[in-house]
Amino acid sequence: MPKLVFSRHGLSEWNALNQFTGWVDVDLAPEGVEEAKEGGRKIKEAGIEFDIAYTSVLKRAIKTCNYILEESDQLWVPQIKSWRLNERHYGALQGLNKKETAEKYGDEQVHIWRRSYDTLPPLLDATDPGSAANDRRYAMLDPRDVPGGENLKVTLERALPFWQDEIAPALKDDKTVLVAAHGNSLRALAKHIEGISDDDIMDLEIPTGQPLVYELNDDLTVAKKYYL
């Protein structure tokens, strides 16, 4: 039975400051480092042995992946990094304080921007100094693929080819897979894996640093789901 483990990165510096983060490459907060290490210890206690690990190109996810593998004595496991596993791009909201943004635009509007499946945030122009178009880690991408902002629907559309081309074939080959990524990229993949509706996905929250285990059938439908 194929086994898939999701781990949302530990608490980041901007999580701690209640700021929209998205594609901004912020580091883990000290609490986030401990969360990631504890996730690795839980994986070791559960006896889960990985064959391959996938993560994004953002340091908070990469470091979480490393801490998990180190604490579970599996740092040798091959890792593949992809921008397709990045957090949802929050557009012009990136860097703003969530509470202050709610005071300016209203709680309901900010809730829609954060949780709606198909509503885009205010977009970030490609000429903005903070645009990913200026970041060399995305230089290989078609400029049309560099987002100015994403909703969960667009995040899933971006992540799904990586699932189909990389993660799903590994699982079908009976490999045990770790995906250390972000709240929204993991929510998007969970929506696909679990068949969650557009409305119900708004209520799905994946905690930081807590491994989520899927035991899958041969057709990659979910046989069992649980947190460690």
pLDDT digits over 95-137, tens only? 999 999 999 999 999 988 888 899 999 999 989 988 999 999 9
228 assigned ligand-binding residue = no
**Would the pLDDT of 203 be above 90?**
no
| Domains: count for the chain | 1
Rounded Cα gap, residues 29 and 15, in angstroms: 8
| Coil, strand or helix at 52 | strand
Which tokens go with 82?
A: 């992809």
pLDDT score, position 132: 93
Of the chain, the percentage scoring pLDDT greater than 70 comes to 100
Domain ranges, residue 192: 3-227
Residue tagged active-site, from 9, 38, 71, 182: 9
Rounded Cα gap, residues 54 and 6, in angstroms: 10
**Of 224, 171, 222, which is closest to residue 195 (Cα–Cα)?**
222
Crossing angle of the two packed helices 30-45 and 59-71, in degrees rounded to 10: 40
**Would the pLDDT of 81 be above 90?**
yes
11 assigned ligand-binding residue = yes
Per residue in 140-186, pLDDT (tens digit) is: 999 889 999 999 999 999 999 999 999 999 999 999 999 999 999 99
Count of Cβ atoms closer than 10 Å to residue 55 Cβ = 27
Tell me what the mean pLDDT of segment 26-36 comes to.
97
Which tokens go with 112?
A: 């829609």
Q: Where are the alpha helices (DSSP H) in 163-217?
A: 168-172, 183-194
pLDDT score, position 1: 86
Rounded Cα gap, residues 62 and 40, in angstroms: 14
Residue tagged active-site, from 35, 38, 71, 87: 87
9 a catalytic residue = yes
14 assigned ligand-binding residue = yes
144 assigned ligand-binding residue = no
Q: Give the pTM.
A: 0.95
184 assigned ligand-binding residue = yes
**Chain centroid offset of residue 99 CA:** 22
In the structure, what pLDDT confidence band is assigned to residue 42 with cuts at 50, 70 and 90?
A: very high
Of the chain, the percentage scoring pLDDT greater than 90 comes to 87
Task: Map tokens 């994403």 to a residue.
Answer: 150
21 assigned ligand-binding residue = yes
CATH code for the domain in which residue 75 is found: 3.40.50.1240
| Region for 20 from its dihedrals, namely left if φ exceeds 0, alpha if ψ lies in -120 to 50, beta otherwise | beta
Strand 3-8 and strand 212-216: the pairing is antiparallel
41 assigned ligand-binding residue = no
Rounded Cα gap, residues 39 and 37, in angstroms: 5
Sheet with 176-181: strands ordered across: 79-81, 52-55, 176-181, 3-8, 212-216, 222-227
**Would the pLDDT of 34 be above 90?**
yes
